[in-house]
Amino acid sequence: MKRDSLHFLLLNIGHFLDHLFTLIFATVAALALVREWGVRYSDLLVYATPGFFAFGLFAYPAGWLADKWSREGMMGLFFVGIGLSSIATAFAQTPMQIGVGLFVIGVFAAIYHPVGLAMVTQKWKNTGMRIAVNGVWGNLGVASAALITGYLIDNGGWRLAFVVPGVVSIAVGLAYIAARWPEFVAEKSAPNRSVQTITASYSAHYRAMLLRVSVIVFITAAISSIVFQATTFALPKILDERVQGIAKTLVGLAEGVGLGGRTDIATVIGTFAFLVFAIASMAQLIVGKLLDLYGARPVFMGAAAIQVVFFLLMPGLADGLALAVAIGFMLGAFGQIPITDYLIGKLAAGAFRARVYGVRYVVSFTALAAALPLIAFVYERWGFDTLFVVLAATALAIFIAVACLPRTIPTPETSPSA
């Protein structure tokens, strides 16, 4: 395997592991600790909160350290550090101890997005497709977390669910360090212009354009995160309310062929949710190709428009139509994920790209936290039909903001004074 292909593969595995580690505890708490420790599920979730807080908060320091020290070194630290902290968490004897372990996991998990994405967008020309493929690997980590964790719980206990991924991550980390050692040495010895020196070389026009696009990027990143979190978190409940007719029909058919007792409504709803997510995640690959062909502005506007249309279609629908429209708005929600990262990769100079990604993920993960209270507030008072209207309005806000982007996004390399 070529060195570049191996590097990209290892970065993709890192994205998979990053999301896997952040969701191990969700399954461990639900399937094991509520019984073994006799602690309520809602109480256990409190101990997971600091870890998710660290996941967002430490993204900027990770990006800053990567730019100042070494991106290759930070990636090696990510693999080994998150693996060791996961193994250490397996030895927790109390909820407080496991909360500390999850916090440390969150600190190391925060490294990946600002550092890994800075590498992907700096090294390869077909940036859109590379980001999209990398994003699909992250989605696989999310989708696989419950499956892998549940299997390990059933075949060795909840502690094994932390130990096995930890060992795998350390092994991958050592392989990464060995494979990238020459680049690490070269990176350390290469001169690194300061941010002040780089920005001073930009033309006034480019600095004004940088400010304009940066404001739009971070506004859309925050709003997009709210839409994404609201749809992914609420989808199982939405389908539970809207596709009961299809679900009951399928359960009846299963009972008619002798599968009664092994197929129920929850299983069918869960399968529908999985299929919607799986189909929608493929939108990232399409968007990645379109980004490389047409650039960010028209693709981003298209993704936002798709969401506006399908969110407005959803109120009042049920069964087959509801399922089809759900796939439609999730295609838009998943499809927009790579676009902001693509814009940052094109806009930010290599010397401080990781820091910009760090700020982006601090903004995004903070916005993610705001989505759950929004869902609860709207749903309890007016139901999902109103939530769809609210989400259509947020998608429209994204469309308007993106329309303010310049038709051609200038890069530091094309700036006249760069």
pLDDT at 86: 97
CA 252, 255, 260, 263 torsion-angle sign? negative
Contact 289, 128 (CB under 8 A): yes
The whole-number average pLDDT for the span 77-88 is 98
pLDDT above 90: percentage of residues in the chain = 31
Residue 411 has pLDDT above 70, yes or no: no
What is d(CA 280, CA 333) in angstroms, rounded to the nearest whole number? 8
pLDDT at 418: 36
Which DSSP string do the residues of 252-320 spell out, in sequence order? HHHHHTT-BTTB-HHHHHHHHHHHHHHHHHTHHHHHHHHHHHH-HHHHHHHHHHHHHHHHHH-TT--HH
Residue 195 has pLDDT above 70, yes or no: no
Instruction: Tell which phi-psi region holds residue 38, choosing left (phi > 0), alpha (psi between -120 and 50) or beta.
Output: left
Q: If 0-12 CB within 10 Å is exposed, 13-18 middle and 19+ buried, where does residue 57 land?
A: middle
Q: If 0-12 CB within 10 Å is exposed, 13-18 middle and 19+ buried, where does residue 155 land?
A: exposed
C-alpha distances out from residue 176 to 3, 76, 141, 251, 283, Å = 11, 6, 19, 48, 29
Residue 21 has pLDDT above 70, yes or no: yes
Superfamily of chain region 204-402: MFS general substrate transporter like domains (1.20.1250.20)
Distance, C-alpha 76 to centroid of its chain: 20
Residue 27 has pLDDT above 90, yes or no: no
What is d(CA 392, CA 333) in angstroms, rounded to the nearest whole number? 11
pLDDT at 101: 97
Residue 131 has pLDDT above 60, yes or no: yes
pLDDT at 90: 97
Q: Write down the number of H helices and E strands in the chain.
A: 19, 0
pLDDT at 369: 63
The whole-number average pLDDT for the span 103-116 is 94
The residue type found at 54 is A
Average pLDDT, the chain: 82
| In the chain, domain spans | 7-192, 204-402
What is d(CA 308, CA 158) in angstroms, rounded to the nearest whole number? 42
Confidence of residue 149 (pLDDT cuts 50, 70, 90): confident
Q: How do residues 270-300 score in pLDDT, each as one tens digit? A: 677 778 877 888 888 898 889 888 888 899 9
Q: How do residues 359-394 score in pLDDT, each as one tens digit? A: 877 777 777 666 767 777 888 788 889 999 999 999
Selection from 354, 394, 417 nearest residue 119 by Cα: 354
Residues 6+ apart with CB under 8 A from 347: 210, 213, 214, 217, 356, 409, 410, 411, 412
The whole-number average pLDDT for the span 117-138 is 80
Q: Which CATH number fits domain 7-192: 2.60.120.620, 1.20.1250.20, 3.30.70.1170, 3.10.350.10?
A: 1.20.1250.20
What is d(CA 142, CA 7) in angstroms, rounded to the nearest whole number? 22
What is d(CA 230, CA 208) in angstroms, rounded to the nearest whole number? 34
**Residue holding tokens 């990636």?**
75
Selection from 121, 12, 8, 113 nearest residue 56 by Cα: 113
Domains 7-192 and 204-402 share a fold: yes
Higher pLDDT, 204 or 238: 238
Q: How do residues 230-249 score in pLDDT, each as one tens digit? A: 787 677 778 888 888 887 88
**Residues composing the chain:** 418
pLDDT at 378: 84
DSSP, collapsed to helix, strand or coil, labels residue 227 as helix
Range with the largest mean pLDDT of 209-213, 259-263, 400-404: 400-404
3-state helix, strand and coil shares in percent for the chain, rounded to the nearest 5? 85, 0, 15
The whole-number average pLDDT for the span 52-58 is 84
Selection from 343, 56, 397 nearest residue 212 by Cα: 343
Residue 416 has pLDDT above 50, yes or no: no
Confidence of residue 146 (pLDDT cuts 50, 70, 90): confident
Residue 122 has pLDDT above 80, yes or no: no
The whole-number average pLDDT for the span 110-138 is 83
pLDDT at 199: 52
What is d(CA 41, CA 12) in angstroms, rounded to the nearest whole number? 32
Residue 261 has pLDDT above 60, yes or no: no
Q: Rg for the chain (alpha carbons), in Å?
A: 22
Confidence of residue 350 (pLDDT cuts 50, 70, 90): low
pLDDT at 216: 86
Cα end-to-end span (Å), the chain: 36
The whole-number average pLDDT for the span 72-89 is 96
Residue 260 has pLDDT above 90, yes or no: no
What is d(CA 136, CA 307) in angstroms, rounded to the nearest whole number? 20
The whole-number average pLDDT for the span 341-360 is 72
